[in-house]
């Protein structure tokens, strides 16, 4: 029941020169399920990544940070579903490393050149033996040529509670040269990315100086994954990795502020945002896609704080589910968002084009049927105008339905 979200087709995606992907069934948690993906990256690519701020970060997140810091050039990524390898202590770290060693050996690279990713149930031992046993088939599936179909396979291969695979792609001109950008993401629950999302991978054949990759990853995450929430639960495994393979024939981009840097950044941001919004559209039990836009704040941080208070309120989320214009719940959330000196008489509230509240009270011309009309839509924009300044920010979220409870009460069984 994803909201306006459709499975990607190979003819909508651009393959990225320098990236090959293979997917296989390793039987990690359940049989007959694509659960192991390898991404093979040609030598010479620049890679950056941002990871969860959850202090209970998973073993693979810890290993990713080490391996990226080692600076030997990333040559492969290894992604398993079915098990998050989080809350697994020292043994979890050893198992994550063992899978990197095995893939590195098969590819004849150093283990620091492999990035591991896991997603699934927390606090259960990673079946690393099954992952290692599955590697040859995954590498075999990657073959010798890149293709759009591989990205479709990968989008499917990294799904857990997702109901629709998520991929997005675009092309643009950089200094007169055609550059492709393609990405995939996964996630539906435990979604409140904080510097990264559950799993997001974005690749381009553009040439981006390695020293820019961290800045680029951060800028992309900030404008996309860090603006979505499903349930407010920041995952232990959030990882967002950006790969630039340097296969396009333009001069390397050495600053994101240069015209080429800006062009590429904006195009990548558009793709990243599509991937991030896809996670909300496929949010567990989601029936509505909601954009929360907060304007007139002193700075964007306080706008975001208010937007998240609304986005996380179970009362607001259930009202959206019910298409019930019980809009006082939104005002209540604005009020408890934590802005100590907020003056309620300065607040206006809009639902799409409907002016619901003015100066903190119900708008005299607001009619229940107008609110009802908007609430019945599957895509809704909530706009809060605070009248305190000129800053604004936007967060995307979904509603809270019976299906959400069903999914999360049954997830492991």
- Interface positions, 65-94, toward a copy of itself (CB under 8 A): 84, 86-92
Phi, psi of 184 (to 5 degrees): -135, 155
Neighbour count for residue 33 (Cβ, 10 Å): 16
Which of 110/122 has CB closer to a copy of itself?
122
Give the residue, chosen from 180, 236, 239, 392, that forms a contact with a copy of itself under the rule CB under 8 A. 236
Region binding a copy of itself by CB under 8 A among candidate stretches 116-124, 134-142, 178-186, 251-259: 116-124
**Whether the Cβ atoms of residue 205 and residue 246 lie closer than 8 Å to each other:** yes
Give the residue, chosen from 205, 231, 295, 393, that forms a contact with a copy of itself under the rule CB under 8 A. 231
Cβ partners under 8 Å of residue 340, min gap 6: none
Q: Interface with a copy of itself includes 387 (CB under 8 A)?
A: no
- Told to judge if 197 belongs to the known catalytic residues of this protein, a careful annotator would answer yes
Q: Interface with a copy of itself includes 339 (CB under 8 A)?
A: yes
**Cα–Cα separations (whole angstroms), residue 197 to 206, 264, 311, 385:** 23, 21, 17, 28
41 by DSSP, 3-state: which? Answer: strand
Residue 118 and residue 198: Cα distance in Å, rounded? 10
Give the residue, chosen from 42, 215, 222, 324, that forms a contact with a copy of itself under the rule CB under 8 A. 324
Which of 151/289 has CB closer to a copy of itself?
289
Site for a copy of itself in 353-372 (CB under 8 A): 357, 359-362
- Secondary structure of 196-256 in HEC code, one letter for each residue: CCCEEEEEECCCECHHHHHHHHHHHHHHCHHHECCCCCCCCCCEEEEEECCCCCCCCECCC
Which residue in 88, 99, 182, 197 is the catalytic one?
Answer: 197
Phi, psi of 219 (to 5 degrees): -60, -40
Site for a copy of itself in 295-314 (CB under 8 A): 312-314
**Cα–Cα separations (whole angstroms), residue 121 to 18, 82, 158, 191, 403:** 32, 6, 14, 14, 19
Q: Interface with a copy of itself includes 226 (CB under 8 A)?
A: no
Give the residue, chosen from 322, 367, 379, 387, that forms a contact with a copy of itself under the rule CB under 8 A. 322
Phi, psi of 67 (to 5 degrees): -70, -35
Residue 332 and residue 73: Cα distance in Å, rounded? 50
Region binding a copy of itself by CB under 8 A among candidate stretches 146-154, 159-167, 253-261, 399-407: 399-407
Give the residue, chosen from 169, 182, 217, 401, that forms a contact with a copy of itself under the rule CB under 8 A. 401
Give the residue, chosen from 14, 67, 75, 192, that forms a contact with a copy of itself under the rule CB under 8 A. 192
Window 251-280: contact mask with a copy of itself (x via CB under 8 A):
------------------------------
Minimum distance of a copy of itself from residue 307's CB (angstroms):
16
Q: Interface with a copy of itself includes 240 (CB under 8 A)?
A: no
CA 406 distance to own-chain centroid: 23
Give the residue, chosen from 72, 367, 376, 402, that forms a contact with a copy of itself under the rule CB under 8 A. 402
Region binding a copy of itself by CB under 8 A among candidate stretches 16-24, 120-128, 173-181, 204-212: 120-128
Catalytic residue numbers read: 197
């Amino acid at each position: 029941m994803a909201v306006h979200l459709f499975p990607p087709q190979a003819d909508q995606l651009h393959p990225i020169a320098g990236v090959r992907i293979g997917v296989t069934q390793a039987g990690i948690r359940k049989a007959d399920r694509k659960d192991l993906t390898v991404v093979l990256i040609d030598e010479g690519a620049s890679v950056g990544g941002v990871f969860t701020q959850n202090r209970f970060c998973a073993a693979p997140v810890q290993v990713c940070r080490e391996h990226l810091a080692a600076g030997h050039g990333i040559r492969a990524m290894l992604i398993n579903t079915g098990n998050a390898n989080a809350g697994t202590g020292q043994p979890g770290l050893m198992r994550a490393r063992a899978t990197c060693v095995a893939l590195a050996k098969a590819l004849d690279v150093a283990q620091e050149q492999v990035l591991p990713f896991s997603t699934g149930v927390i606090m259960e031992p990673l079946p690393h033996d099954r992952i290692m046993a599955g590697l040859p088939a995954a590498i075999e599936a990657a073959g010798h040529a890149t293709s759009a179909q591989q990205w479709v396979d990968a989008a499917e291969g990294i799904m857990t509670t997702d109901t629709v695979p998520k991929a997005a792609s675009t092309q643009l001109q950089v200094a007169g040269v055609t550059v492709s950008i393609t990405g995939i993401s996964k996630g539906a629950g435990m979604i409140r990315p904080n510097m990264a999302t559950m799993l997001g991978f974005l690749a381009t054949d553009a040439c981006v100086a390695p020293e820019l990759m961290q800045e680029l990853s951060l800028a992309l995450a900030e404008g996309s994954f860090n603006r979505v929430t499903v349930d407010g639960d920041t995952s232990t495994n959030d990882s967002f990795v950006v790969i630039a393979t340097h296969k396009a024939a333009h001069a390397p981009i050495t600053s994101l502020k240069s015209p080429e840097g800006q062009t590429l950044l904006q195009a990548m941001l558009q793709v990243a945002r599509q991937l991030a919004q896809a996670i909300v559209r496929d949010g567990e039990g989601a029936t509505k896609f909601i954009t929360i836009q907060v304007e007139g704040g002193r700075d964007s941080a306080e706008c975001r704080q208010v937007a998240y208070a609304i986005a996380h309120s179970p009362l607001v989320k259930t009202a959206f589910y019910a298409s019930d214009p019980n809009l006082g719940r939104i005002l209540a959330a604005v009020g408890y968002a934590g802005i100590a000196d907020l003056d309620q008489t300065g607040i206006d509230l809009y639902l799409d084009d409907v002016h619901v509240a003015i100066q903190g009270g119900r708008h005299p011309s607001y009619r229940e049927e107008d609110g009802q009309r908007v609430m019945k839509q599957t895509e809704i924009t909530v706009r809060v105008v605070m009248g305190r300044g000129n800053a604004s920010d936007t967060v995307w979220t979904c509603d809270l339905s019976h299906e959400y409870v069903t999914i999360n009460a049954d997830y492991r069984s």
